[in-house]
Structure 1
Amino acid sequence: MTESFLQRMGRRPGLLALLLQLLALCAVLLLHRGLLLAGWAVPLVVLVGLQAAMSALLSWRCGQASWWWLIHLLFVPGLWLAAHWQVAPGWLLAALLLVLLLNWNSLGERVPLYLTGRRTERKLQGLLADLPPTLRLVDLGCGLAGTLCRLAERYPQGQFVGVETAPLVFVLAWLRCLGRANCRVYYRSLWDERLGDYDVAYCFLSPAPMPRLWQKVQAEMRPGSCLISNTFAIPDVPAQRVIELHDWRRSRLLLWQR
């Protein structure tokens, strides 16, 4: 029963994060109450730190991605500091909206905003050099489209398409691609993009969508095309080629040929 519940909640990481925050808060309040009855007065800053550490620990135990741990560690301490410094509520709301608009996909798809590193990008450019200059590439979750634009500049005869559904990220990426004849960004889910139209599908997602993405690749991509994933593997499907980037994020490029 518990495992099934956690699996269901895992598909709603934002809701799970809120639940873990509340559980940690209740535990700290109960501990504070017990210590008061025993004659121990604990400073508020210590209680805030305990709540943050406990919620991050619960997040880890529930299998959430590491960036969720950081959110748990900073959330309540951030609220406490804002109250201590008397930050206007409007600024807090604006900050929350900004984070949501930039990381919208992390709530439903469990895909945060990842940006391709320059070393990885250079290696990707080298891989594309082996393909015809008229290649067609789709970036599944293109983020701010920096990599997409630079690839389009490097291969002017090719066609480069990005899809993105985080609202603010899409707007910034779309503006970045204006005036580029061979580069376009669409407000579209990667699940709605027809992969059969492309020679290369590139992605930098998270472990969560990779099994479903492989099913889509098998169903849609034509023979001779390839999937290139930044860092994240497909469970039980060994990549035909793995290129280690040796950067601080331990990035690698994984390739599957159709």
Structure 2
Amino acid sequence: MSIDYKLNMLKDNIRKLKSAAIAYSGGVDSTFLLKVAHDVLGDKVIAVTAKSSTYPEREFKEAKQFAEEIGVKHIVIVSEELDIEGFSKNPTNRCYFCKKELFTKIKEVARESNVEKILDGSNLDDTRDYRPGMEAAKELDVISPLKEANLDKEDIRELSKSMGLRTWNKPSFACLSSRVPYGSEITTSKLEMIEGSEQFLLDLGFRQVRVRHHGDIARIEVSPEERKKFFNVELMDKVVDRLKDIGFKYVTLDLFGYRTGSMNEVLTEKEKK
């Protein structure tokens, strides 16, 4: 199945919907989906972005800017995950609670805006990892058109590049809560430490960054090709000093480097059900 065929399938499927509310984070997938949907449906599309303590300000600013550039109606809501019962305890199905809250609120926005369907940016690759949020999407009739068109992340990046979207090579991002090990309580202070640490590393020029919060320990993941930057002792000292100022007592580098869903590596198949 060619990439052009997949793109045409995506457009045809969206065209049949007549109107849509896009769960829009500003990431690679939701930006691509929003652009295609807006091209196909015009002002029958709205973008809905949820602000919360798990969503970095830099991501919100980028999302807002793009929505303004293409002229789509952009609605910002508050969806504070830490207020959701059970979420802060950080169970293995944490994402289910988050997505259920998010999609429920977007559904209300869609109803008020006379929009028929809710779409999210899940793609084919998301079916290959543990994604409890997909169950919430299914329960609330959220459509995942990228997945339905058999588009994976590589396809989406390639098409985004051909469309001139600056997000085509944007590093993957997940909510800040994903940096806290399952079973360890998620708090505002932990999220602030994570966001501050990651922003510092991004400001130093790293592109793909995760700072996992293991109590007193910060476990830094950067893309495999960026690991060699840490051979610079001056850089190491700078990172250690800053992350200790932020609140960590020990600063470590994950030698394996960044990989999607590293926190899921400790889960058994039983825990994923």
Output the TM-score relative to the length of structure 2. 0.30
Q: With CA pairs under 8 Å and 6+ residues apart, which has the higher RCO, 1 or 2?
A: 2
Give the TM-score of the pair, scaled to structure 1: 0.32
